[in-house]
Amino acid sequence: MKTRHHYPILLIALLLGLMGFAEHAQADYTLGHYTRVEADNNTIKLAWTKTTGSQGTMSLQFRYRVRWRESGYSTWKEKTTTDLNFTINGSYNTMYEVEVISEAIYGTGGGSYGVRKVSTIADPELPGELTITPKELTMEAKANGKIVIIRCNKPFKFKGLDAPRWLTYSGGVTGYKDRLRLLVLALANTGPERSATITFKTTAGNVTLKVTQKGETPAADTETPKPGHFVLGYPKAISPTAIEVKWTPAKDNVTAQEKLRYRVKCIRHSDGKEVKTSPELTNQTEYTITGIEPETEYRIQITVWDEANNSDGYGDPIVKTPPAADTEKPKPGGYVDGYPKAISPTEIVVKWNKATDNVTKQEKLRYQVRCGLFKKLVKSSPILTDETEYTITDLPYSDMTYDISVKVWDEADNVTFYSVKEVKPLEKEPKPTVQVSSVMLDQPKVTIDGDRESFRLEATVLPANATNPALQWSSSNESVATVEAVSLSSMLKSGTVEGSAVTVRIHKKGKAEITAQAMDGSGKTASCQVEVISTVGNETIDGLRVYAVDGALHLTLLAPQMVHLYDVSGALVRTMDAPAGDHVLPLAPGVYLVRIGEQIAKVLIK
């Protein structure tokens, strides 16, 4: 029988046992350290020593995790490597945080090499931005020096200085730097104040510095004062003949502000003539120009001088004075020949020439046509501007003479009047006479059978535009019926009645013809036939008149008579011995029988 060898299986078991032992053994390791952390343009170069160690009987192998981020950001970027160096590609002019962390490939162990900060340089393709502090130097007359600092957004190298012989410098200027500190030196100045501009030359460009050095003897003042400005809203016209000017003080490099001198000029804009000039003003910032013309444009100039007679101006704004107060009335231009004149019984046309004024333009003058009667205004036009004609209409009287005038105002409300003209409207033409062509009554025939004591009769006259539509009424038998005007409460005993309607009063049985006749001479008439079969009252007894009016019994007796009065039941109401003449006896409403001698009449009292 063949014997089998189990060496591979035993070897694997041995390795697994050793690994299991290593896992439970304490790791012993030593971290390396950085050997390089630096920026090269926009890249960051990292290098480090390896981490070494063991765990039990097993030597540990390590790999490295490299992390980086822009400073201030929370998100890390990372890569893993087994090398001992790494290059990060970043951005120019940026601060980065970088970290290397070692990790055991098998087993445990390793750790962080620490976080380092490193900045990349500015982009060399971009121009440098140089600044210098301070931008100007003022140095004493004696030999002295002052520090200046030049900065740039990328490393630069100092190349030299352009300066006059009395200026030089001192300071470390070798190599590339992003900040350079120099001492500017000036020689002693025994003369007047002097100044110069220094140019510092660098690989990133040039930067300049102005240097002023005081002198042991004062320099001549050749610099003009620096004007202030006009106060807001000035200069301004304060009347038709005055302009007020206000300004802020000027400044000077030598002369004290309170010793600067000013002069104000007023120049007419239309021809450039200087019309007013102020005296010389010291330590003063306002002035009023007077005695100039109204409604005129002026240029206002202010000149300022220092003690060395250097001068400058504030400019020359234009100001217009307002018009003078207008107190003069307009001058009327008179009426156009032949006007005002009447053109109808109710119309008068008024035409006038334009007025003139010393200030207001003609087209802005205002007019009002006025029509008066007996010193009282009866008609007036609306306010008219730039008009010279108006027609007065609807005059109330054609037979009166009217007073016509025109009122005129200027823009200052000065008022005057054109002369008053008397005008009488044209007379009305008489209308053609239209005669009555026919007369019609509303009742051509009326029969009374004790039912009424009177009735109304109305007439219609044609044509409706008849010149004289008046009618005359009459009764052919006034003992039977008479006519009364409708506006009268008493009966007309005789004569004629006029009007378009009448009241016919019934007196006794019989017949009568009521006639309406036109009064214009046309001869047109209309008649109503009245037949009285019986009466309610108001009968006439043989020349005696018995009738009722306004709640009373009326009697007209030709001779003395004994009068007996009965009610409808036959009871005697009253007896009276009445003399001849008219009598009025008030009675209560009702029907009564009146007995005069042997005659009996019936009356109705209302």
Note whether 248 and 285 are within 8 A (CB): yes
As a whole number, mean pLDDT of residues 144-149 equals 93
Catalogue the E-assigned strands of 261-401: 261-268, 274-277, 281-282, 286-290, 297-305, 311-313, 318-320, 341-344, 347-351, 366-373, 376-380, 384-385, 389-392
End-to-end CA distance of the chain: 178
In degrees and rounded to multiples of 5, residue 396 shows phi and psi of -75, -30
Which residue is listed with tokens 């016919």?
Answer: 504
Going from the C-alpha of 76 to that of each of 44, 69, 92, the distances in angstroms are: 15, 5, 18
| Predicted local distance difference test score (pLDDT) of residue 489 | 35
Q: What is the DSSP letter of 12?
A: H
Q: Would the pTM count as exceeding 0.85?
A: no
pLDDT in tens, 563-580: 888 887 778 888 988 898
| CA–CA dist 455, 469 (Å, integer) | 22
> Which of 12-26, 53-67, 173-187, 317-331 is predicted least confidently?
12-26
Rounded CA separation 252/304 (Å): 10
Is 475 within 8 Å of 516 (Cβ atoms)?
no
The residue among 137 and 548 whose pLDDT is bigger is 137
Closest listed residue to residue 350, CA positions, set 403, 426, 429, 410 = 403
pLDDT at 230: 97
Q: What digits encode the pLDDT tens for the residues 406-456?
A: 999 999 999 999 999 999 999 887 788 999 999 999 999 999 987 788 899
pLDDT of res. 1: 42
Amino acid of residue 76: W
**Span 185-204, mean pLDDT?**
92
Q: Is the pLDDT of residue 341 over 90?
A: yes
pLDDT at 409: 96
Q: Which residue has the higher pLDDT, 29 or 366?
A: 366
Backbone angles phi, psi at 41, to 5 degrees: 55, -115
Give the Cα separation of 121 and 130 in Å (integer): 15
- At 255, the amino acid letter reads T
Does the structure show a pLDDT above 90 at 600? no
Q: For residue 18, what pLDDT is reported?
A: 46
**How many whole angstroms separate alpha carbon 183 and alpha carbon 170?**
5
Q: Does residue 197 surpass a pLDDT of 70?
A: yes
The predicted model gives 556-568 an average pLDDT of 85
Whether the pLDDT of residue 13 is over 50: the answer is no
**CA 326 to CA 89: how far, in whole Å?**
88
What confidence category does residue 540 fall into, taking pLDDT thresholds of 50, 70 and 90? low
Tell me what pLDDT residue 597 has.
75
Residue 172 pLDDT level (bands cut at 50, 70, 90)? low
Pick from 275-289, 348-362, 554-568: least confident: 554-568
Number of Cβ within 10 Å of residue 20's Cβ equals 11
**In which residue are the tokens 């009697």 written?**
555
Contacts of 59 (CB under 8 A, 6+ apart): none
Report the 10 Å Cβ neighbour count for 458: 14
Query: Residue 79 — very low, low, confident or very high, per pLDDT cuts 50/70/90?
Result: very high
Give me 537's structure tokens: 């009252």
Handedness of CA 479, 481, 482, 488 (dihedral sign): positive
pLDDT over 80 (residue 17) = no
Pair of tokens at residue 73: 């950001």
> What does the alpha-carbon distance between residue 118 and residue 83 come to, in Å, rounded to a whole number?
21
How far apart, in whole angstroms, are the C-alpha atoms of residue 190 and residue 151?
34
Domains and CATH numbers, the chain: 20-119 (2.60.40.10), 131-213 (2.60.40.10), 236-320 (2.60.40.10), 341-423 (2.60.40.10), 438-534 (2.60.40.1080), 541-605 (2.60.40.3080)
pLDDT number for residue 339: 97
Among 129-138, 201-210, 453-462, 478-487, the least confident range: 478-487
164: which 2 tokens?
């006059």
List the one residue out of 21, 118, 28 whose CA is nearest residue 69. 118
Half-sphere exposure in the Cβ direction for 305 (13 Å, CA): 10
Amino acid type, 62: F
Least confident of 179-193, 394-408, 493-507: 493-507
Q: Which of 132-141, 158-167, 310-319, 587-596 has the lowest mean pLDDT?
A: 587-596
pLDDT of residue 550: 82
In which band, very low, low, confident or very high, does the pLDDT at 95 lie, cut at 50, 70 and 90?
Answer: confident
Is the model's pLDDT at 491 over the cut of 50? Answer: no
Mean pLDDT rounded to a whole number for the chain = 88
Residue 487's pLDDT is: 55
Spatial distance between the Cα atoms of 265 and 316, rounded to a whole number of angstroms: 9
Q: Largest alpha-carbon pair distance within the chain?
A: 205
Query: Where residue 469 falls among pLDDT bands split at 50, 70, 90?
Result: very high
The position carrying tokens 């001698």 is: 597
C-alpha count within 13 angstroms, C-beta hemisphere, residue 115:
10
The DSSP code sequence of 307-346 is TT--EEE----EEEPPPPP--PPPB---BPTT-SEEEETT
- pLDDT higher at 192 or 128: 192
* H, E, C per residue of 418-463: CCCEEECCCCCCCCCCCCCCEEEECCCEEEEECCCCEEEEEEEEEC
Q: What are phi and psi of 436, to 5 degrees?
A: -70, 130
DSSP state of 533: E
Buried b (16+ CB within 10 A) or exposed e, 424-457: ebeeeeeeeeeebeebebeeeebebeeeebbbeb
